[in-house]
Structure 1
Amino acid sequence: MGRGTTLFLKAAVIVIGLPVLALCIFIVPQIAGFAAELYPEHSYLKVLVAADLYASAVPFYYALYQAFKLLGYIDRNEAFSELSVRALTTIKYCAIAISGLIAAGMPIYFLMADKDDAPGLVAIGLIIIFASLVIAVFAAVLQRLLQQAIELKSENDLTV
């Protein structure tokens, strides 16, 4: 793979992170405030919603960092190495963590959607959970294939 292709993918990783950063800065506080407005007797919901959404952003950005590192390994012709397998493993666990954190917050989002009569809120949460799980499965498959390729390469190196 050429350096231009990985450069494009590195730029794509950065571009993927920017909208989520904008959501964290501008939209998450509004969603948390909206939860507090819907249930004024439960003011702690504001903190819970914000904590859940910000906590799910942490593994997201760590997975983006690992993807950036993985592209760096490809640039240095170290794609078939244990470092790449470790990066894919971390991406897999980050995707699982995102799904778990959003799933843990789904009861709150369901209460918000029920009170405001907005079923789209629950649908968005389910889409995020599903997408994260798809990414986790994809990373697991790539991890297994890469591990097998590394084992095959080491067997061939020992044979020759």
Structure 2
Amino acid sequence: MMKRETLFLKVTLVIMALPILALCIFVVPLVAEFLAELVPNLAFLQYPFQIGLYVAALIYFVALYQTLKLLTYIDRDTAFSDASVTVLKNIKLCALIIGTLFVVFMPLIFMMGDADDAPGLIVIGLGIIFGCMVIAVFAAVLQKLLQNAIDIKSENDLTV
């Protein structure tokens, strides 16, 4: 019944993963080297910054996998289950962790933007933080709504 729509969303998830994978392979090492060149007194932070970006990407892939699991539950007509609530909780947690990582990285991003006179870096960092927070709040609202729907459904099943 929902197979066509969820297939489209699954393909979209794969397409969303590809640019981040490309960024991890090609851009992240260059950004870490760029940080060391721009701010030489903080060159020792090059590798922790790079590792942090890889961790953020890994958590992003975990969130995409959780979304894929949620779409699979929808395909199987088990969307109104505790497993779906758990998946939404995991997506919320992933978004919060990524947002927190970028809050921690924001001083470095600010220094890079200030040294290179590129305020766009700061805007990109803030955009990622706010985007993660929006996703976390949205997942929390969906989690609460889904939990309420499951509770109402179980009450109705008990009364019949």
Shorter-chain TM-score category?
over 0.9
What amino acid maps onto 2:102 in structure 1? I
* Residue 17 (structure 1) aligns with: 17
Q: Distance in 2 between matches of 1:3 and 1:33?
A: 45
What amino acid maps onto 2:73 in structure 1? Y
| Residue 36 of structure 1, CA deviation | 1.0
| Residue 51 of structure 1, CA deviation | 1.6
* CA distances 1:14-49 after superposition (whole Å, capped 9, x unpaired): 111111111111110110010111123432122122
**SS of residue paired to 2:79:** coil
**SS of residue paired to 2:78:** coil
* Residue 34 (structure 2) aligns with: 34
Runs of 4+ in 1 over 4 A off after TM superposition: none
- Percent identity reads 56
Q: Distance in 1 between matches of 2:129 and 2:114?
A: 19
Q: Contact 2:39/2:111 (CA < 8 Å) preserved in 1?
A: no
Report the TM-score, using the length of structure 2 for normalisation.
0.97
Q: Contact 2:89/2:139 (CA < 8 Å) preserved in 1?
A: yes
Q: Distance in 1 between matches of 2:83 and 2:8?
A: 21
Trace 1:45-124 onto structure 2 (pairs within 5 A). 45-124=45-124
Q: Contact 2:85/2:143 (CA < 8 Å) preserved in 1?
A: yes
Count of residue correspondences: 160
- Gaps of at least 5 residues in structure 1 are none
| Residue 76 of structure 1, CA deviation | 0.7
Q: Contact 2:66/2:90 (CA < 8 Å) preserved in 1?
A: yes
What amino acid maps onto 2:120 in structure 1? G
Q: Distance in 2 between matches of 1:60 and 1:43?
A: 26
* Residue 135 (structure 2) aligns with: 135
What amino acid maps onto 1:16 in structure 2? M
Q: Distance in 2 between matches of 1:43 and 1:110?
A: 15
| Residue 154 of structure 1, CA deviation | 0.3
